[in-house]
Chains A and B, each alone.
Chain A
Amino acid sequence: MDPIQLLIICAQAGMLVNLMLIAAAYMVLAERKVAAWIQGRVGPNRVGPWGLFQSFADVFKLYLKEDVVPAAADYKFHALAPIISIAVAITIYAVIPWSGPLVTIDGHSYGLAMAPQMNVAILIILAMTSVGVYGVALAGWSSNNKYSLMGGLRSAAQMISYELSMGLAVIGVVLISGSLNLVEIINSQIANGWNIMYQPVAFLIFFVTSLAETNRAPFDLPEAEPELVGGYHTEYTGMKFGLLYLAEYASMLAAGAIMATLFLGGWDMIPFVDEAALLGLAPDSIPMVVLGHITFVSKALLMVFVFIWIRWSLPRFRYDQLMNLGWKVLLPLALANIAVTGICLLLFG
């Protein structure tokens, strides 16, 4: 690998981290604004026009806060947990196909996607969500607080339970597309129509499990404030809390982007329509790639909006209901979905 390639990869990484930070800042604001609208309030409106700079003010505040680590806590693991959470959330951004190739340098083409030719991208995503469990479990255990420990344990058990159904739901998509490469999955959807049309059950399972994986309502048992105060981040203050919070929003956007990739056609604007021919442009010309990128991000943000909407509309599950849903409803449903997809592919495919 020559230095120019390395340099470009580092630049892509920098751009993606920036994208993540800005998106997370405005997702936090969107969350508060949507919550306010749903509850008939105004929401943050003091910092900048319509409260647009609220999140930046919050970040500065977090930097200037004292970092309190309880005397009973394990200092090293207490600091390690938010680092694991944020590193995992950022790493997923490397495999998501944010855009098609934009520029060609020395025979290699580059877009916003860092590793478009990686052929095990789906497995990396699943692996990274598994590693994310360590962040939450460590945060809960290292705080040496009963609320934190219960929150961490609940969260770990919930995340690993729902990851099974998530992995099984993706198999339906892989069956249809015949590849684990996310770019090839998008291309097969551009050719044959979006996967959500062929795999509605898998999409539903994937959506529900994404809610559980990102610890969002109605699956936010780990931080059920009436019973557990703040769950695994009860003992976190300042920027360590900020990192855990940022990781949650970063993985929300990642979940939205993965859903857009696997089920909603990725860069494709309208299913079954060749947009490039309609607009009279070449399929890989720069305006088409930029339009595709905008489409992709809009789809991801739409899913994020649905996440926020659900959080402020639905009550929280009870823990036994949550585990029953994961193990006794979603898991058999996902297995049945694979069998039915296989039969349909054998008969009609």
Chain B
Amino acid sequence: MVTTYVPLMIMILIGVIFGVSNIVLAEILGPRRRNKAKLSTYESGMEPIKSARERFTVKFYLVAVMFILFDIEVIFMYPWAVQFKELGMYGFTAMILFMVLLFSGYLYVIKKGALRWD
């Protein structure tokens, strides 16, 4: 049913309108007194050294990749959980098998040190 999702769409729209209108209103009401020092990047009072868009550690990227992998597994479990009582023993065994596979992959990730932050 598409109509079920209409409230959600309206709420998203209202959220965006709320955000935009507040920013525009503040832009109109607030003063505009710009100078070079005010518009410079904050760096604890120092002259900013280079841009912030430098290379950063690859660990953040690894976490993001791992999140995508595991999040898909989590989504797989939702239909199973809703139908758990109907699927019974068969569904449970299948899901335990799936979770064992998932967990061995997880152990591999830990052993590889992909989640070591120190």
Nearest residue (CB) in B for A9 is B7
B11 touches A13 (CB 8 A): yes
B19 lies within 8 A of A62 (CB): no
A224 at the interface (CB under 8 A from B): no
Within 118-165 of A, Cβ neighbours of B (below 8 Å) are at 118-119, 122-124, 141, 143-150, 153, 156-157, 160-161, 163-164
Q: Chain A contacts of B43 at CB under 8 A?
A: 145-147
Inter-chain contact B63/A68, CB cutoff 8 Å = no
Tell me, yes or no, whether A65 is within 8 Å of chain B by CB: yes
Q: How far is the CA of A331 from the CA of B109 in the complex (A)?
A: 13
CB distance from B73 to the nearest CB of A (A): 9
Q: Mark B48-88, 1 if CB is under 8 A from A, else 0.
A: 10011100100110011001001100110110011011001
- Cβ < 8 Å to A, chain B residues 1-45: 3-8, 10-12, 14-16, 18-20, 22-23, 25-27, 29-34, 38-44
Closest B residue by C-beta to A92: B11
| Contact status B23-A82, CB under 8 Å | yes
Q: Is B47 in contact with chain A by the CB < 8 A criterion?
A: no
How far, in Å, is B107 (CB) from chain A's closest CB?
10
Contact B82 A178 (CB under 8 A): yes
Are B67's CB and A346's CB within 8 A?
no
Cα separation A343 to B96 with both chains bound (whole Å)? 10
In the bound complex, residues from chain B placing their C-beta under 8 Å from that of A297 are none
Contact A64 B67 (CB under 8 A): no
Stretch with Cβ within 8 A of B (4 or more), from A31-39, A166-174, A192-200: A166-174
Chain B: which residue is nearest A90 at the CB level? B15
Shortest C-beta distance, A264 to chain B (Å), equals 20
Residues of A within 8 A of B18 (CB): 17, 86-87, 90
Residue A234 at the B interface, CB < 8 A?
A: yes
A91 near B38 (CB under 8 angstroms)? no
Complex CA gap A316/B76 in Å reads: 34
Contacting pair B5 A238 (CB below 8 A): no
CB <8 Å contact, B23 and A66: no
* A147, B74: Cβ atoms closer than 8 Å: no
Report 17 cross-chain contacts, Cβ distance below 8 Å, ordered by A residue.
A6-B6, A13-B7, A62-B26, A64-B29, A65-B30, A71-B40, A86-B15, A89-B15, A118-B7, A160-B71, A163-B71, A164-B74, A239-B26, A323-B115, A335-B102, A343-B92, A349-B85
